[in-house]
Amino acid sequence: MRFAVIQFPGSNCDQDCVHALQVLGQEARLVWHQETKIDPEEGVILPGGFSYGDYLRCGAIARFSPIMPAVKAAAGRGQVVVGICNGFQILCEAGLLPGALTRNEGLHFRCEKAFLRVETPASRFTSHYVTGEMLTIPIAHGEGCYRASPEILQELEAQQRVLFRYCNAEGQVVPEANPNGSSHNIAGICNAGRNVLGMMPHPERCCEAEMGGTDGRGILLGSAGIGRKI
Amino acid sequence: MKMKAIVTVTLKPSILDPQGEAVAHALQNMGVKGVQSVRIGKHIELEIEGGEEKALRAKLEEISKELLSNPVMENFHLDLRAGG
């Protein structure tokens, strides 16, 4: 499958995403934020970084980039849209995902490996995993504290749209395992149509053994519509 | 007529402000006593060509809701006055 990896001024994980997708046998092209077209067969990746220097709020300015109407249209047509880190923040600002990402509790920029618990295999993004499976995926963010109204949180839980939660090394979802203070230890969610994923951890940084892990492969392969090989 | 709009954006009371807490902590280290809490927000000034005040106010409300603040986590206060 081919992916359009959107480059905003200040994106810095765009090349990593292209590389990881190519390692996984997928096609990827870089799309500058001033462009206005996404092909109907493409997946879309909003990569990590600091679009527009995080001015005003993370993702607040990128949301108004010329490419965004095409991204919204693609999401509306059911095409895969994946927002990683700053991409997750942009998806929330753009209203493609509910809630908002605020300053980490404790103020620290957290750059480390995080343990994630897969909450459900019922999405293309998690189809490679089983419920309760534990993944080790790097995080690197200062504003990843997920917040939403109690009604939205309830809806996300009821519809099994929380795909990943921060957990400890034993796979338990406990407050001490929460690196940023996110409500319900949320690390990644999807939209109601289950074709838009937003997550703070970086699956593209762990797709090769020599990069320290391969736990992110399933997320990107699943995004490409490739099922698990048994 | 030139108008000046001042938009003050603050975190909703339910949203934790770690930045404010860090400043409160620094104040304590400074030896300042009696500060109960610190909340940090944004002060945004816009100079605009004035028009009919009601329409102008409506436009500024929209700008504040759509871009200057994120209604999920922030409130805003709009102050419109004459002069640049």
What is the distance, to the nearest Å, from the Cα of residue A228 to the centroid of all Cα atoms in its chain? 20
Beta pairing partners, B47: B4
Q: Which of B18, B72, B73 sits opposite A104 (nearest CB)?
A: B18
> Cβ separation of A99 and B72 shorter than 8 Å?
yes
Size of interface A-B (CB pairs under 8 A): 36
> Cβ separation of B73 and A107 shorter than 8 Å?
no
- Could you tell me if B9 and B75 are in contact, meaning their C-beta atoms sit under 8 angstroms apart? yes
* Interface residue A55 vs chain B (CB under 8 A): no
Annotation says A202 is catalytic: yes
Beta pairing partners, A114: A137
Given a cut of 60, is residue A126 above it in pLDDT? yes
What are the residue ranges of helices labelled H in chain B?
18-30, 53-63
Residue B38 DSSP one-character state: -
Tokens of B78: 């709009």
What is the distance, to the nearest Å, from the Cα of residue A201 to the centroid of all Cα atoms in its chain? 7
* Torsion angle (degrees, nearest 10) of CA B20, B25, B26, B27: 90
Annotation says A204 is catalytic: yes
Catalytic-labelled residue, pool A17, A85, A167, A207:
A85
pLDDT value for A229: 63
Distance (Å, whole) CA A175 – CA B80: 44
pLDDT value for A230: 53
Q: Which of A52, A57, A110, A141 has the highest number of chain B CBs within 10 A, making it the mutation to test binding with B?
A: A57
Distance (Å, whole) CA A127 – CA A73: 25
Chain segment A146-202, per-residue pLDDT in tens: 999 999 999 999 999 999 999 999 999 999 999 999 999 999 999 999 999 999 999
Here the ipTM equals 0.82
Distance (Å, whole) CA B30 – CA B15: 26
- Could you tell me if A141 and A88 are in contact, meaning their C-beta atoms sit under 8 angstroms apart? no
The pLDDT confidence band at residue A54, using thresholds 50, 70 and 90, is very high
**Rounded mean pLDDT, A203-219:** 95
Q: Which DSSP string do the residues of B1-24 spell out, in sequence order?
A: -EEEEEEEEEE-TTS--HHHHHHH
Chain segment A20-47, per-residue pLDDT in tens: 999 999 999 999 999 999 999 999 999 9
In chain A, which residue's Cα lies nearest the Cα of B41? A56
- Could you tell me if A141 and A103 are in contact, meaning their C-beta atoms sit under 8 angstroms apart? no
> Cβ separation of A103 and B17 shorter than 8 Å?
yes
Q: Which of A93, A98, A102 sits opposite B15 (nearest CB)?
A: A102
pLDDT value for A132: 97
Distance (Å, whole) CA A185 – CA A108: 17
Mean pLDDT by 10 residues, chain B (84 residues): 94 91 93 94 93 91 96 96 77
Q: How many residues does chain B have?
A: 84
Contacts of A102 in chain B (CB under 8 A): 11, 15-16, 73
> Cβ separation of A57 and B18 shorter than 8 Å?
no
Catalytic-labelled residue, pool A13, A93, A202, A206:
A202
- The angle at the Cα of A88, spanning B46 to A180, to the nearest 5 degrees, equals 95
* Structural domain spans, chain B: 2-82
CATH number for region B2-82 = 3.30.1280.10
Q: Which DSSP string do the residues of A115-172 spell out, in sequence order?
A: EEEE--S-SGGGTTS-TT-EEEEEEEESS-EEE--HHHHHHHHHTT-EEEEEE-TTS-
Given a cut of 60, is residue A98 above it in pLDDT? yes
> Cβ separation of B18 and A64 shorter than 8 Å?
no
* Interface residue A147 vs chain B (CB under 8 A): yes
